[in-house]
Structure 1
Amino acid sequence: MAELVSRCAQLDQVDYFEVLQLSREATPADIKKAFYRESRAFHPDRFYQLENKTLKDHVNELYKRVTEAYYVLRDDTKRRKYLADVTGPQRAQKLRFTEASEAETKAAVKKEHAEQIGKDPKGRQFFQLGNTDLEAGRWSSAERNLKMALTYESSNALYKEKLAEAQKKLNEESKAKGEAFKIK
């Protein structure tokens, strides 16, 4: 009972490897064995006779965390991401893995990527052409292609930024030509 109370008290500070009492280099077989060992030891059915509701709630929470740990650590992709999260600077915020947070992260990355590069295929095509023109120093062609990209996605901040860059270069070039004309 003392071990149960101790483990439950530490749940908010331990990662899934610690919940299953494993090293971070544990093999899939080790993870499976640890899960079965911990789930047998802390299954709520073993503690049904307890009268202390708080202790029962702790058992349920510990069992839930053991199951959660197994679910994440048995999947190689989730395990790699989780390991990177808990060994990183935001360890305290990343101890729990949830599908909702994973889905939110994926959606945010996808949205950001789409907003940067563009949602419309024609807009992306003109943006790529404009970007290539910018890199090659063809300012007027870059301006024309970026304006076309903006006709497909008028609110795309990246497109606007690149257009402003092309227009600035065109303006500088035009001033330089004007100065050269005055000198002659």
Structure 2
Amino acid sequence: MAELAERCARLDQMDYFEILRVERTASPADIKKAFYRESRAYHPDRFFQLQDKEVKERVNELYKRVTEAYYVLRDDAKRRQYTADVSGPERAHKLRFTEASESETRAASKRQVEEQIGTNPKGRQFYQTGAADADAGRWASAERNLKMALTYEPANTRYKEKLAEVQKVLLEESRKQGGDGFKIR
């Protein structure tokens, strides 16, 4: 009971790693073991016989935090975001992973994917084909595929940059061949 009281008293200052009693470098298997250990120790059903309602409420709160910690730390994206949050200067305000934090994580992941490849499957397909053509030196084909990618995602900066690179190479080749691509005799 003394340990329970001590943990409940510090609950608002503990991050999820401390709640589960694991290192920040803990593997997913270690996190799972820690969750099962802590949830067995602090499951509200173990304390149903107690008469003190305040102690029961503290046990419920601790159990909720143990469960919350597990669900955040077992998800790689949430864990990365959470670790960055609790390692930063605003640690005290970021100890709990809220819906807003989760929304930020989802939005950041979505932005990262969009920045890397694009949002439209057809656009991504044409971009990847165009990039492969450019890598192989098939400049005209690369230009066609990148223009097609831009028809699906006209605002995609990455597609525009790649197209500009390809068109620059095509223009240089055209100049080498005599201006507009045709040799004059």
* TM-score when normalising by structure 2: 0.61
Corresponding position: 1:69 with 2:66: yes
- Name the structure 2 match of 1:91: 86
1:20-169 equivalent positions in 2, closer than 5 A: 22-24=21-23, 28=32, 31-38=35-42, 48=53, 63-73=60-70, 78-79=73-74, 81=76, 85=80, 88=83, 90-92=85-87, 93=91, 95-98=95-98, 101-114=101-114, 116-169=116-169
In 2: Cα distance, 1:143 partner to 1:125 partner: 14
Offset of residue 87 of structure 1: 9.5
Aligned residue pairs: how many?
167
Contact 1:15-1:86 within 8 A present in 2 as well: no
Offset of residue 155 of structure 1: 1.0
Offset of residue 176 of structure 1: 3.8
Q: 1:135 to 1:23 in 2, by over 3 A?
A: closer
Q: Does the residue aligned with 1:35 lie in a helix, a strand or coil?
A: helix
Contact 2:42-2:59 within 8 A present in 1 as well: no
Q: 1:114 to 1:78 in 2, by over 3 A?
A: same
In 2: Cα distance, 1:83 partner to 1:104 partner: 10
Q: 1:177 to 1:12 in 2, by over 3 A?
A: farther
In 2: Cα distance, 1:153 partner to 1:112 partner: 16
Offset from partner CA, 1:80-124 (integer Å, 9 cap, x none): 638954995543456423455335423432354245423334323
Q: 1:163 to 1:19 in 2, by over 3 A?
A: same
CA RMSD of aligned residues (A): 4.3
| Structure 2: gaps (5+ residues) | 180-185
Identical positions, percent: 46
* TM-score when normalising by structure 1: 0.61
In 2: Cα distance, 1:146 partner to 1:87 partner: 38
Q: Does the residue aligned with 1:19 lie in a helix, a strand or coil?
A: helix
